[in-house]
Structure 1
Amino acid sequence: IPASHLLGEEGQGFVFVMKGLDGGRINIATCSVGTAQQALNQAARYIQERKQFGKPLAQFQALQFKLADMATELVAARQLV
Structure 2
Amino acid sequence: MISSYSGYYFTIQFLVPIDLDNFQQRLLENRIHIARNERCFYESSHFQNSVRLSLARIHSQDLQTALELFYQTFLDCL
Structure ranking higher on relative contact order (CA contacts 8 Å, 6+ apart): 2
Q: Under a length normalisation based on structure 2, what TM-score does the superposition of the two structures give?
A: 0.34
Q: TM (normalized to structure 1)?
A: 0.33
Instruction: Please state which structure has a larger fraction of its residues in helix.
Output: 1
Q: Which has the higher strand share?
A: 2
Which structure has the bigger radius of gyration? 1
